[in-house]
Amino acid sequence: MDSTNMSILWTLAAIVMTTLAGNIITKFLRRLNAFAVPIVGVDTGDLNTLKGRYVQEADVLLREGYERFKDSIFQVETPDGPRVFLPRKLANDLKPFNRHEASGMKALADRHIGHYTSIDHESDIMLGAIKIDLNRNLGNFVEDVQHEIAHCFKTQFPPCDEWTPIDLHEKLLRVVAQASARIFVGYPMCRNEEWLECSTKFALDVMTGGEKLKQWHPWLRPIAQYFVPEMTRIRGDHQRALELLLPELEKRSIGSDRTGLKSRNDMIEWMQQRAQKLGDKSFDSKELANLQMLTATAAIHTTRLAIIHALYDLAARPEYIEPLRREVLDVTKDNNGILRKQHLTHMRRLDSFMKESQRHNPPSVATFQRKAMIPIDLSNGFHIPAGTIVQCNTNMLDEAPAEWGDPNGFDGYRFYKLRSKPEDTNKYQFASTSYDSMQFGFGNDACPGRFFASNQIKIILAYILLHYDFKFEDGIVGRPKNLMFEVNVLADPTVKVLFKNAS
């Protein structure tokens, strides 16, 4: 046997031995770290079946856990190992911790092996730009965003003179991406086709690439990442984003030397100003491009999905369409249909419908996820070691307060009615977080972009209500069943909604 063949055999043998050793060590460590709490479905005795159920019907598994263990902690077997689920009441224990102590971002990054997919990158600059600058300026962008949305529908949607099937997943991706880019990178870059493609496909590359790479043993991933096409594309996405952003940054740099130049007032400027204020010497054009990709990923896809869920709910319950359309017309009649910040706050019925749609179709059935960055002891004596990810079983509709009415029924005006009391007029809004509404998280680490998402969703739905009639294609009765991928709730992408210009 020649030396080349011997080398190949030794390499294969080393890989096999490394993998076996890694599996043994991983299983040993897993036993050491196992929690003394029950595992849902363990009586089936088939670990692979349990893992498969978690991928395809996590909502059913969590319902089983809730019905069997109610206010107790339980585990679920997943392809990534056992996961610990806390009852909702223990969310109050985790609420006071800041993101450096119990991090939602780190939990998300671990799920998508973020140190490979590039999303394990928390930035005080990005967080400050979203939490402070973006939220402070949302009202200034309502008309601009509405203008971009109108442009998108006119250029991306078919004429719809007759009933026309629309793939909402595809079309709304562009609408949300362009509307978001108006605030993130400003005009005219928000209409740059290459930028929009780069900022939208990056998230897909992250999710798909992460899932593919997770099929490899952790010890082999440093090498395996180069055999996963999406991982290569992620690196390309970052590089292309930088190349596309550099001319815009150069233009701004030249313009900033001119006196009296009007502020751009967008995410690029806010991040630059924050970096300067913090004295962050590591912040450069490359870092800015990377943060833009991460910001777009956090904003575009979850917002698009919430709009699709709401449209599916409206198409399944057409009796809501005309009253919501009248509300939009009534609040904008003083301004010829052009939206202002105050108009969005006055659309209380639409806000309520959005919140009820999200209550039934949350982004995740375990939205309150945290990675313990420090050891944490819960009020029931349960110890969470540093490095452990826990989540709350947050989507049991039965747990809604009695004053909310039928918890399992769909009432689009549920929160509109709850806000009728003067003392509750500012409660129960779509973007509000509370013990009973954790769709955007809870506590100090709740989603900082939820007010931005609320505005985007409301502006897009208002535009659709004013300009289109819509319904499901023939043969669809009722609300199409959602699909599950682990704890993520997805609207069925095979469903077509028919659009027609409003008469």
Contacts for 239 with CB less than 8 Å, ≥ 6 apart = none
307, 460 in Cβ contact below 8 A? yes
414, 449 in Cβ contact below 8 A? no
The 10 Å Cβ neighbour count of residue 298 is 22
Return binding residues.
Answer: 447
Return binding residues for heme.
Answer: 447
The 10 Å Cβ neighbour count of residue 375 is 12
In the block, which residue shows the tokens 């790479």?
213
316, 412 in Cβ contact below 8 A? no
How buried is residue 188: exposed, middle or buried, by Cβ count under 10 Å (0-12/13-18/19+)?
A: exposed
The 3-state DSSP class for residue 386 equals coil
* Cα 11 from Cα 32, distance rounded (Å): 31
Sheet holding 468-472, edge to edge: 164-166, 497-501, 468-472
Q: Give whole-number Cα distances, 142 to 36, 332, 456, in Å.
A: 51, 13, 9
How buried is residue 346: exposed, middle or buried, by Cβ count under 10 Å (0-12/13-18/19+)?
A: middle
- Going by C-alpha positions, the residue among 261, 278, 259, 258 that lies closest to residue 270 is 278
The 3-state DSSP class for residue 85 equals strand
Contacts for 32 with CB less than 8 Å, ≥ 6 apart = none
